[in-house]
Amino acid sequence: SLIKKQNTCELCVLDYGVGIHPKNLDKIFNPFFTTKSQSSGTGLGLYICKEIVEQDLKGHIHVTSELNKKTKFCVEIPIDLNC
């Protein structure tokens, strides 16, 4: 979904997959954190996404998840009203 709020724009992506285990939710944005094997990923993707959203775009990214049901990522960035 894409929602325009007063001074921000929020993009949310919802996935009805296996979800993220609650013990991992606080770690997923940490650099090099992965639940995959070493040959399948570096654990940098979500860390880089968060850095771009928060440092470059001055926004926020957050996640909610229910194990074996769904995961929802939302990115909220400010709208430059002077453009």
How many angstroms separate the CA atoms of 79 and 66, rounded?
Answer: 30
Model confidence over 44-63: pLDDT tens digits? 999 999 999 999 999 999 99
Task: Name the pLDDT band for 82 (thresholds 50, 70, 90).
Answer: low
Task: Name the pLDDT band for 11 (thresholds 50, 70, 90).
Answer: very high
Question: Closest by alpha carbon to 20, among 58, 72, 75, 74?
Answer: 72
